[in-house]
């Protein structure tokens, strides 16, 4: 009789090990699928952020539409912004229009979320234009808002004929690049 209990007990152990192994295999399989999905999501969001930073950097020198859009909008009333496309260039290569620059700054200070849409970014943005004589920022400074993920585009241009460095950044507070 003692011998039979020992057999019965070892059958229970073998059965439990088989069930445990099957459960662990299923969990490992599911985890690898979730991990793959997170990796793809992170990669896609990172690519979107990088593309938006590059596009924002290039679009700064675009003249916008209509070419004199800064005169057709009331910068403190976002309802007047619907029929314009934002660009702060003069149409002369890398020359920045001080009037368009002032209008965009005023618009961003008035209704930052609406300017994100006009600039074609879904993340937070920060544009910094600087030189020895110019130091201007438009948007939300990522350093002040605890940014976790930042992508930037760097270019050079001119304001009032003086050379400036232009940094256009998109950023978010998440590591996965979620808006």
Angle at 172 between CA 39 and CA 63, to 5 degrees: 115
| Predicted pLDDT at 78 | 86
Name the 3-class secondary structure at 1. Answer: coil
One-character DSSP codes across 37-92: HHHHHHHHHHHHHHHHHHHHHHHTTS--BSTTGGGTS-TT-GGGGTT-B---B-SS
Res. 45: pLDDT tops 80: no
| Predicted pLDDT at 92 | 82
| Predicted pLDDT at 22 | 64
| Predicted pLDDT at 44 | 63
pTM value surpassing 0.85: no
pLDDT tens, 52-105?
Answer: 999 898 888 899 999 999 999 998 888 888 888 889 999 888 899 999 999 999
| Predicted pLDDT at 155 | 92
């Amino acid at each position: 009789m003692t011998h039979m209990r020992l057999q019965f007990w070892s059958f229970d152990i073998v059965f439990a090990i088989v069930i445990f192994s099957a459960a662990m295999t299923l969990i490992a399989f599911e985890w690898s699928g979730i991990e793959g999905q997170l990796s793809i999501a992170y990669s896609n969001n990172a690519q979107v952020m990088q593309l938006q930073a590059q596009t924002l950097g290039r679009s700064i020198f675009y003249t916008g539409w209509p070419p004199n859009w800064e005169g057709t909008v009331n910068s403190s009333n976002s309802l007047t912004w619907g029929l314009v496309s934002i660009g702060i260039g003069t149409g002369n290569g890398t020359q920045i229009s001080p009037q368009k620059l002032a209008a965009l700054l005023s618009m961003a200070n008035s209704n930052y979320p609406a300017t994100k849409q006009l600039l074609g970014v879904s993340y937070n943005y920060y544009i910094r234009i600087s030189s020895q004589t110019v130091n201007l920022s438009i948007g939300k400074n990522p350093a002040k808002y605890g940014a976790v993920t930042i992508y930037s585009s760097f270019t050079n241009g001119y304001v009032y004929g003086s050379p400036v460095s232009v940094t256009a950044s998109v950023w978010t507070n998440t590591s996965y690049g979620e808006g």
